[in-house]
Chains A and B, each alone.
Chain A
């Protein structure tokens, strides 16, 4: 059974500092997805990582995938208030996605 673990589950960030969220998964998969969810809203796709070593960047966020270690990281550079949200990783299991519990990010001034 595929299990997806994110840590930390809650992250209080200071503006301007760098942070990393980790996503570990238990069985082999070559596809991993990152989503963002604002309070009371739906999920928005951030990154699609489709192979070992894949790296994607958008603004202050960068995601990477190491399929051998079964690990993806979401790196935040110089956090700003607009990044406050819940971030989910999801791993493909036969064209179904298994989600982590989510990481709540809060950026404080």
Chain B
């Protein structure tokens, strides 16, 4: 059971380059999320998708775009990478709380991005 799968695991970019982080989940969850993790700041929400066909901004959306391709897949795009986007990015999914579900997030292994 793969759970949440992210690619790539590591990436080095030059300032101004673009790239897309891919995320797929096989748990039939409706909701998917992109967080970034920086030292001493916990995890901050970039974008989320409550269900297929919807996306919304989180706490730190500037410089990013997302696509909910289908129920399984949620991608994060950096159009013009900046050094401030050097971070570890985590994709997560969940079933909405209620009806026996707890709303807890299940995380991928993370994607470590360095922008030079």
Residues of A within 8 A of B (CB): 4, 9, 31, 33, 41-43, 45, 48, 50, 88, 90, 92, 95-102
Contact of A43 with B90 in the complex, beta carbons under 8 Å: yes
Contact of A102 with B97 in the complex, beta carbons under 8 Å: no
By a CB distance below 8 angstroms, the chain A residues around B41 are 101
Report B100-116 CB contacts with A as 1/0, cut-off 8 Å.
00111111111000000
Write the nearest CB–CB distance from B107 to chain A, whole angstroms: 5
Question: Within B1-45, which residues are at the interface with A (CB < 8 Å)?
Answer: 31, 33, 35, 40-45
Residues of B within 8 A of A (CB): 31, 33, 35, 40-45, 48, 50, 58-59, 90, 94, 96-97, 102-110
By a CB distance below 8 angstroms, the chain B residues around A101 are 40-42
Contact of B43 with A99 in the complex, beta carbons under 8 Å: yes
A43-B107, A48-B103, A96-B48 given; name 7 further pairs at CB < 8 Å.
A41-B110, A42-B90, A42-B109, A90-B105, A97-B33, A99-B42, A101-B40
Q: Closest chain B residue to A43 by CB distance?
A: B107
Contact of B97 with A95 in the complex, beta carbons under 8 Å: yes
In the complex, which of the residues A9, A42, A97 contacts B108, with contact meaning CB atoms closer than 8 Å? A42
A92-B97, A95-B31, A102-B42 known; A50 and B108 CB under 8 Å? no
Write the nearest CB–CB distance from B29 to chain A, whole angstroms: 11
Contact of B103 with A92 in the complex, beta carbons under 8 Å: yes
In whole angstroms, how far apart are the Cα atoms of A72 and B20 in the complex?
37
By a CB distance below 8 angstroms, the chain B residues around A100 are 42
By a CB distance below 8 angstroms, the chain A residues around B97 are 31, 50, 92, 95
By a CB distance below 8 angstroms, the chain B residues around A41 are 109-110
Contact of A96 with B33 in the complex, beta carbons under 8 Å: yes
List the 4 closest A-B pairs by CB distance, nearest first.
A99-B42, A99-B43, A48-B102, A101-B42
